[in-house]
Amino acid sequence: MEKYPHIFSPGRIGSLNTKNRIKYAATETNFPYGDGCVSDREVAYMEAQARGGPGIVTTQGAYPDKEGEGKGFKGMMAIYDDCFIPGLARIADVIRQNDALSCLQILHCGREGGVDLDYCLMSSVVPQKLSYFKPPREITTLEIKKTVKDHIMAARRAVKAGFDMIELSGIVGYLISTFISSYTNKRKDEYGGGIRERCRLMVEVIQGVKAEVGDKIPVGIRLCGLELLDDRGGNTIEESIESFRIAEEAGADYLSVTIGWHESSIPVITRDVPMGHWLYVSREIRKHVKVPVTMAFRQFLPSIPEKAIADGTIDFWEMCRPMIADPQMPVKIQEGREDEIIPCIACNLCFSRLYYHQPIMCSVRPTVGHEKDASWGYYGFSMVEKKKNVVIIGAGPAGLQCASVAAKRGHNVKLFEKDEVPGGSVLLASRVDDGSEELMRVVNTLQVECKNDGVELNYGVECSPEMVNKMNADVLVIAAGASVAAPPIGFSGPIFTPKVCMQSPDALPSRLAIIGGGGIGLGIAVFLIRNGDYSITVIEGSSKLGRDVNPFYLWRYTKLLRDKKAIILTGATIKDIKDMVLFVATPKGERQIEIDGIITAEYEAPLNLKRLYERSAPDIHIIGDAKKPRRLNNAIHDGYRLGMVI
C-alpha cells in the first residue's frame, strides 16, 4: 500500500467513487458466441478480472447494431437487442460482487467492422490499407441518425443489465474515429469539414447517451490522442486535443487516451516501445480538460502509472494486456507480491488470435479462458492423491513452468539445469532487440513460483540417466531444449551457432549467411544489424520469411533488415558451395553469394535424448523445444499442460 499510494488512493468518475485508480480496460476475447451472446467462458474470464482487484472493470466492446456492421470480431459481444440483457447482467453481477465498478463499452467497429459481411461502414470511402478488413461503404445521413439511436438504445440496455458506467469508443479505425480523423472523413455534409464538424457524430452519441442514462451513470469515451497517420493526412495532435475538449464539452465524464490506428506505420505497443513512452500525449491532453483522464499503453510496471498519477499525467491507470497475463496484478501489487506477477511480454499473441477468429490465448498464462475449469487450477489446484518423484531436466520456460505446476499439485519436484542460470533459449532471445530483456521477466517469475512451490532447483548440474535412476524418479520430464541442425556440407570457412554469435559478435567476420529465416534466424539478423556493420544474407527454404514470428514484430524486423540492405532469399536452397561462395537457387533464379562465414539458425529436436534416458524412469515426457523447436508460448503451454496431468 505504501509503495504505491497514488495507485491505491480512491478516485472519482462522475458521481461514482472508485476504490483505487486501476481500470481493467475493454478487451475483445472472442469468448462470446458468434450470435453475440455472452458465454460462461466470458463470464468466468470477467470474474477473474474483477477478483483481481481493479477499481473499475470494463467489458469488451459490444456492438450496437443488428445488421452487424459494427461487429469487428467473430465472437464479439452484442447489445443490439433486449435479448442480450440477461447475459450482460451476468457480467455486471460478477463485477459488482467483487467490489468493483462495472463499465460497459459500446463499440461500433466502423472501418474494422462487418466481420460477417462483405463490406464495412465508415464516414467516407477510403480504401483499406490492411487487406484483412472489408471494403468500405460510405454511411448515409439516415444511417448516421440510426447509429446514434443504436448507441442510445445500447446504453439503455446496459443500464438495465446493471452496469455502473458506459464507455464509448472512437479509436483505431472504429466508426466514430473514422469521422474524427481527417484521413478518413472526406464528407461534404454537416459531419465533415473542420475538427468540430468531424466530431459531430461523437457529440450526438455522447449527448444522446447522456440524456438517456442521466447524471447517475458516468459516460466516458476512448479517443485517439495521437493517430500516427501523418503520412496519410491524419489529424494533428492539436486536432486530437480539440476532439477531447469537444467530448468533454458534450458531457463526457472521463476521457481515455489511446495512441495510433491499427494501420499506423509506427510501432505502438511492441516491446521496442519503452514503457511509459506515450504518457507525454496524456500529459498534454490533461492540460486542456478537467474530467479524469485514463490511459493504458505500455505501462507494465506499477512504478510508471504511480509516477504518472502523482505528477498529474493521468488520473486512472488502464490495463488490457498486463491483466490478460495476470488478472491478479492489482492485488499482487497491493500485497507487495510484485515478483509473483505473471508479466505480459507484449508478444501480442492475444491480439493476433482475434484476427485468426480464435479466442484469445496468452503466451505466459495458459489458463486464459479456463478460469472456471478446476483442472486448469487458476484458483489453485487440488492436491494429487499419490505424490510422485518428478525429475525435470532443463530450466528454460518449459521446464520451469512444468515444475511449478507439478509442485503446486503436490508432487515432489527436482529441476536440473546444466547452465549456471535458468532461462534456456530466453537468455539469447532476451538480447535481440530493444525491450527484449523484458522476456527475462517471465523466467524470473517462473523461478519465484518454483521456489514458492517448493521445487528443488539445481543449477550448474548436468543430470545424467544414472542420476535420474538413483533419485527413484517416477516421472522424468526432458525440457532440455533443441540442438542446432547440421550445417551445409562443403563450406570451408567458419560456421557459427546463434549462441556463439550473441556471445561474441565482435569476433564474427563481416559477410555472413544465416541459414534459416524463421524466428531464430531473423532474431540473429536483427541482433547483428543492431550491433555492428555486417553484410547479411538470410537463406530461408520456405516461401515465407519468419512464419513463426508474430506479425506485430515481423514487419519491424523485415524493415530493419531492408533498411540495412540485408539480402533476404525465400524459397531458397543451397545448390553448391565452392570455397567461400554459396550458389543459391531461388524462385527468381540462381544467386552467388560471397561470404566469410555461416550462421546456422535452424534447430531440431535432439534425436537421441529419449533413447539415452529410456531406462532411467518408468514415465518419460519430452516438452518444449526438445520435443520440437517452437516459440516461447509453446514451451510454456507444453510445460503447463504436462504439469496438470503428471
Q: Which lies closer to another protein via its Cβ, residue 65 or residue 638?
A: 638
The residues that touch another protein, with contacts defined as CB under 8 A, are: 30, 33-35, 37, 39, 74-75, 353, 356-358, 361, 542, 547-548, 627-628, 630-631, 634, 637-638
| Residue 620: HSE in the Cβ half-sphere, 13 Å Cα cutoff | 18
Please give, one letter per residue, the 3-state secondary structure of 259-276.
Answer: ECECCCCCCCCCCCCCCC
Nearer to another protein, 54 or 75 (CB): 75
Phi and psi at 518, nearest 5°, equal -85, -160
CB of 358 to another protein, least distance (A): 4
Least Å distance between CB 632 and another protein?
Answer: 11
Which residue's CB is nearer to another protein, number 610 or number 628? 628
Residue spans of alpha helices (H) in 126-273: 141-160, 175-180, 195-198, 200-213, 237-250
Please give the grid coordinates belonging to residue 274. Answer: 519503452
Classify residue 493 by its DSSP letter: S
Closest distance of CB 465 from another protein, Å: 25
Across the strands, what pairs with 106? 62, 168
CB nearer to another protein: pick between 457 and 605: 605
Question: What are the two backbone dihedrals, phi and then psi, of residue 389, each rounded to the nearest 5 degrees?
Answer: -90, 115
- Please state, in angstroms and rounded to a whole number, the distance separating the CA atoms of residues 43 and 65: 22
Least Å distance, CB 395 to another protein, is 22
**Quick one: angle between helices 632-645 and 397-408, nearest 10?**
30
CB of 9 to another protein, least distance (A): 42
Least separation in angstroms between CB 483 and another protein: 17
Residue 12 phi, psi dihedral angles, 5° rounding = -140, 130
Which residue lies nearer to another protein by CB, 137 or 628?
628
Residue with Cβ nearer another protein (157 or 637): 637
Question: Among residues 144, 148, 158, 173, which one has the least CA distance to residue 78?
Answer: 158
CB of 627 to another protein, least distance (A): 8
Shorter beta-carbon distance to another protein: residue 361 or 457: 361
Query: What single-letter DSSP state applies at residue 433?
Result: S
How distant, in Å, are the alpha carbons of 85, 513, 528, 602 from that of 579?
Answer: 73, 14, 24, 22
**Cβ closer to another protein: 87 or 234?**
87
- Residue 35 or 579 with smaller CB distance to another protein: 35
C-alpha closest to that of 476 among 619, 309, 605: 619
C-alpha pair distances (Å), 493 with each of 581, 591, 599: 10, 19, 11
Q: How far is the CB of 435 from another protein (least distance, A)?
A: 24
CB of 220 to another protein, least distance (A): 31
Closest to another protein by CB, 387 or 547: 547
- Residue 432 pairs in a beta bridge with none
Contact in structure between 299 and 319 (CB atoms under 8 Å): yes
Nearest approach, Cβ of residue 269 and another protein (Å): 21
Q: What's the start-to-end Cα distance of the chain, in Å?
A: 39
Euclidean distance between CA atoms 639 and 477, whole angstroms: 9
